[in-house]
Amino acid sequence: MRVAVVGIGGIGRIHVEYLGRAKEAQVVAVADLDQAKASKVQAEYKVPKAYVDYREMMDKEKPEAVFICTPPATASPAGLGRCRQPAVPGRAAPARPRPGPSRGRVGHADGS
């Protein structure tokens, strides 16, 4: 599965590291407002692409699942709503946040 991670801070970096070990997942891109942070993690974990604008990442990479690892305010539908739109044609697909106000959120592009 082609996955992407948005927000490469403390928990986002850990997601990239662990997803990189999963046979089922291929981290195709990361996005962070801080370009230096995204580029550093991209190089460290050999992620193909790094973006500042997550919307550009969604449009270009079309990930099947997106791990939203930004602070709660930006992880809201209003903040990162583009992640809730179908990334892969033919798959209906809003992201499904985990419950809990202070947790990072996980969105599956196909709703699974």
Ligand X SMILES: NC(=O)c1ccc[n+]([C@@H]2O[C@H](COP(=O)([O-])OP(=O)(O)OC[C@H]3O[C@@H](n4cnc5c(N)ncnc54)[C@H](O)[C@@H]3O)[C@@H](O)[C@H]2O)c1
- What are the residues binding ligand X (CB under 6 A)? 6-12, 31-34, 37, 54, 69-72, 74, 102-104
Minimal distance in Å, beta carbon 6 to ligand X?
5
CB-based closest residue to ligand X: 9
Distances (CA, A) of 89 to 31, 64, 85, 86, 105: 21, 10, 10, 7, 23
Minimal distance in Å, beta carbon 90 to ligand X?
26
Which of residues 60 and 103 has its CB atom nearest to ligand X in the complex?
103
Minimal distance in Å, beta carbon 38 to ligand X?
8
Which residues neighbour 62 within 8 Å (Cβ) at sequence distance 6 or greater? 2, 87, 88
Which of residues 32 and 64 has its CB atom nearest to ligand X in the complex?
32
Q: How crowded is the C-beta side of 76, counted as CA atoms within 13 Å?
A: 6
